[in-house]
Structure formats: C-alpha cells, structure tokens
Structure 1
Amino acid sequence: MNASRLTDHTGYWMRMVSNAVSQEFARKVAGQDVTVAEWSFMRALYDLEPVPPSVLAEKMGMTKGAISKLAERLLAKGLVVRTENKDDKRAHSLSLTNEGRDKIPVLAALADENDAEFFDTLTREEHETLNRILKILAERRGLDATPVD
C-alpha cells in the first residue's frame, strides 16, 4: 500500500508558511511584552470598547473562559481595565487603558512589518491572489474565529 508524502498535501505547505509567519510575529510582539493572543484580543477590543466579555468572545469566536484568561493577563499588565455595570454588579465591560490604546498602532506596525518581510518574495499580484484564495477558503468553510495561536 502506498502512502502519500507529507509534501503532497496543501495543508503541509500552509502550516509550514503559517508557522514561520506566526513564530516571527510572536517574537516581534514579545518585545512589546504581549503575546499574539493578547494582541488579537487588544485589537478586537480597540474597535468595540467598552464591551462585555461575552460580546468580545462572540466577536472573536472564543469561549468566555478563554476571553477571561486573556483579560486577566492584560489587566495585570495594565493594558485593559474592567468597568462594573452600575445597574448590574455582576456585569462588567472591558476597555483598553491609555497605555493599551497607545500600543495598538505599535503592534499593528509590527504586524504590517512582519507581513512585508515574509511576503516580499511574492509579486504584488501573487500576494493579492494568495490573500484572495485564503479568504475564499475561510468564507466557504465558515471560518470566522480569530486565530490566536
């Protein structure tokens, strides 16, 4: 019986590229004392704040538990603040602190730099084609959770 080689699989090549891009980006954001997951959380919060954790969890396609863990880490770093609901003491919202808000453009620039460095071997047309195909795959497969790992 023949067995296909690893390199026969598109997923193999996608994972190879994804790992390389992600690992380099993780190294870059670590210099800003955040993880890729924390960056994703902060970037989502940047557009929504203030927001209840349950809304953020739904937006990011994550569990409330995962959001809570990320929130706790960012609260400890002083990048996120929790505000209690005046009408319901059990409810609260999350928002970025001034320091957290100031980090967003810095981290976004690192993401832009990482993409530019990695994908600069492609022509503009090739890069646009790659993005278009990946978006088609994500849409057709109903993939909408924010990748954090």
Structure 2
Amino acid sequence: MRMVSNAVSQAFARAVSAEGVTVAEWSFMRALYDLEPSAPSILADKMGLTKGAISKLAERLVAKGLVERAENRDDRRAHRLSLTRRGRAAVPLLATLADRNDAEFFAALTREEHETLDRILRVLAERRDLKAIPLD
C-alpha cells in the first residue's frame, strides 16, 4: 500500500509543482476556496492542522500572490484569509490536475476493482475517524 500511496502522491506533487505550489499549499487553497474569507483558526480546524502550520502556509501563499490577508473589522488583533483573484482561478485548474492524476493512476483497475477499493478505503477512513487530509 505504501508503494501505491507514494506513487500517486509523488505524481501529484510533480503536477502541482509545475504550477508553482506544493501539495500542502494546494490543500490549503482548496479548503480556503470553500470557506473564504476565513480566520486561520477555522482553517486549522477544517484541515486538522495547528495554527502555526496554517500561518506558515498562509505566509508562503501570500508571498506567491495566491492568498491575501485582511484585518478583521470586529477584532483588529485578528485577520481573515482569502484567495486572490489569481489564487481563486488556480483552484479549479489544480483540482483538474488532482482528478487527472487519480484517473490516470487508477485506470489500471476494472470498474469493479475500483468500486471495491473505494469501499475498502471508505471503511478504513470511517473506522479510523479520518477527516483531514494528511499533508506530510
């Protein structure tokens, strides 16, 4: 299983790297796409990461011009994160790369095998209470 996981993950990492982001940055952008504007603490909860990890990812994406930070009008000590126009436009492209990566890799399976694998993985995720996408 580790070989398969690594092969799928590495292929995707190469694909998003060609677009100038890491897998962790893509996951952050995808989460923010649904939640923006959002406080870092909300993103941390959604992604299962620490506030420190969210802060580091946000800094990298702000530097790349994909995320912007704005003061919270109600609490000047707090801020909200949102995607820039460029960041928002990149999310569907990166999602297409993710879907294509999965489709290409799992095309070796028959439909029945794919459904069986999907069912088994869902059972494992449910029994292990997996909700966040691991980034490392």
Which digits, 9 at most, give the CA deviation of each residue in 1:98-134, with x for residues without a partner?
Answer: 0000001110110011011100000122112211211
* Aligned twin of 1:61: 48
How far does residue 82 in structure 1 lie from its aligned partner after superposition?
Answer: 0.6
Which digits, 9 at most, give the CA deviation of each residue in 1:53-88, with x for residues without a partner?
Answer: 000000000011101000000000000011101121
* Aligned twin of 1:117: 104
* Aligned twin of 1:73: 60
How far, CA to CA, are the matches of 2:83 and 2:89 in structure 1? Answer: 9
* Higher alpha-carbon Rg: 1
Unpaired runs of 5+ in structure 2?
none
- Verify: 1:136 aligned to 2:123, yes or no: yes
How far, CA to CA, are the matches of 2:36 and 2:74 in structure 1? Answer: 19
State the number of aligned residues: 136
More strand by share: 2
How far, CA to CA, are the matches of 1:34 and 1:98 in structure 2? Answer: 16
Tell me the TM-score normalised to structure 1 length: 0.89
Q: Please tell me the residue identity of whatever aligns with 2:16.
A: V
- Verify: 1:99 aligned to 2:86, yes or no: yes
How far does residue 34 in structure 1 lie from its aligned partner after superposition?
Answer: 0.2
Counterpart among 104, 114, 118 of residue 127 in structure 1:
114
How far, CA to CA, are the matches of 2:70 and 2:38 in structure 1? Answer: 9
**What is the RMSD of the two structures over their aligned residues, measured on CA atoms?**
0.8
Q: Please tell me the residue identity of whatever aligns with 1:66.
A: A
Tell me the TM-score normalised to structure 2 length: 0.97
Deviating above 6 A after TM superposition, structure 1's stretches of 4 or more consecutive aligned residues are none
Unpaired runs of 5+ in structure 1?
1-13
